[in-house]
Structure 1
Amino acid sequence: KWYWLLALKSQVSIEGNYPLKFWRWKGYLIQYTSVGHEGPAVLLVHGFGASLQHFRDNISNIADEGHRVWAITLLGFGKSEKPNVDYSELLWSELLRDFIVDVVREPVHLVGNSIGGYICAIAAGLWPSLANSLVLLNSAGSVVPNYSFIPLSKEGRTSWLSRLQARLLLLFLRSRVGGILKGYYPTRTERVDKPLVDEIIRAVSSDHTVYVLQT
């Protein structure tokens, strides 16, 4: 019901600038935003642990240069739904494919950061007619197939031990978010501000199910 309430309030904005919208994909709610009314279509895809807010300082600049800009929050991240499914490169790539076809409705310039760049590259490789160009920002490389090393039962639920281990790991990572981000982006550590750290912590805390992903 929480995600349905978010959908009903889809005009909530990012820091008062961009409208947040929801698109239903395979029964799951996917958060996105769109800015601009003319020009080439650009789709921004965030990195691991982030959301479309990752591009909050870029969206308007790209739109002002004469583009229509979309930014999406991948399934399992941010305020998009977090179902207990088998997350994989193909799953996220198919999400981008269907978003381009169903929402954007024309080929796009794909822009991806970190794991988002990797997913964009896969999507562009599998469905080249949907990508006018590909921009990779500090892109991730190949990862372990299907990511999750937690075996899922036939009911699709993890064991209590795996859930406990995941929660302990999450508690540890929460205390290290700021330091980890500054280590990855040392040239502009001032960008690792409290709103960014709070948003990452809020995103992973908004669902009671915790998943451990191995890269």
Structure 2
Amino acid sequence: MPLINLIQEQRLARKRNEARARSFFLVFVGSAVASVGGFGFFWLQSESLTREKSQLEAQIHKSAPLVKQIDEYKAKYAELSPRLKTLEDAQTVSSRWGRIMTHISRQTPKPTWLTAMRVQSNDSTKPINLSVIGVSPGQEPVSEFILRLQNCADLENVTLKYSQEKMMQFTKAVEFEVTADIVGTADAKPKEETLEGEVKAK
């Protein structure tokens, strides 16, 4: 009996060893397959990224002349911008003066003669001031002239500076001066000055 039990134990031990060996083998094979699969996945990803990189580099190379041309256009625009602004400002000023002169020539009452015009600008943050000097046979045409100037969209703050009787050869006349601010001729105040003014006002 002891001999039979020993043989039986040896058989069982051998079977356990064989089962353990098969388990280790399967684990090894599984690990190997997983490693190969992972390597294949990363290799495919690497190939895909390499192709994408090559495509992007090709697109960049293809777009390089266009980008260079755009940069050249930007440089030319930056160079011409001050000139364009000067031209636009000159056109704006010319158009404004054209409208003002047309309005004055058409809206001056018939018995009134304009003898002088001058402009004054001591502060760039304030509008340019226009002075119109003239002669009229009475006060009524002067008042009418002021009312008509107030209807000019390019003028504001139209006021009578003075009017006085004056002998013109053999007749009496009224000499007058009317002043007005020209709309859109004041430069914007710097932000710091504006903020200081607001603080003082408070």
Q: TM-score range by the shorter chain?
A: under 0.3
Higher helix share: 2
Structure number with higher relative contact order (C-alpha < 8 Å, ≥ 6 residues apart): 1
Q: Give the structure-2-normalised TM-score.
A: 0.25
Q: Give the structure-1-normalised TM-score.
A: 0.24
